[in-house]
Amino acid sequence: MQAFYHRADAVIELANGQLSPTSHSGQVGASLLYAAARYSASVASIGFVKGDDLRKEKEDILDFYTKQYRQMLSDNLDDYAQNFDKYIQVGK
C-alpha cells in the first residue's frame, strides 16, 4: 500500500511543479484529469485483441473507473474537510 501512495504523491508533485503565473491549479487539474483518463484507457485496453471487443466492454469499464474515482474523491474530500485548517492555510 505504501508504494501506491508513493506513486500518487510523485504524480501530485509533478502536477504542483506545473503551477505558474500562466497555469493555475484549475488548468493543471484539468490536465491531470485528462492524463488519468488517457492512461486509464490505455490500461483498460490491455488484454483485448480487437478494438471492437474493447468497445463492447466500454460501459463496464466506464462504470468501474467512475465508481473508483467517485470513492477516491469522496474519501479525499472527507479528509480535506476534517483537516481543513491543516491543509488550507488561509492568510498564512
pLDDT in tens, 5-59: 999 999 999 999 999 999 999 999 999 999 999 999 999 999 999 999 999 999 9
Output the pLDDT for position 92.
Answer: 58
> 23 - beta bridge partners?
20
Is residue 44 within 8 Å of residue 61, measured between CB atoms?
yes
Dihedrals phi, psi of 23, to nearest 5 degrees: -140, 105
HEC readout, 9-36:
HHHHHHHHCCCECCECHHHHHHHHHHHH
pTM for the structure as a whole: 0.86
Is residue 18 within 8 Å of residue 30, measured between CB atoms?
no
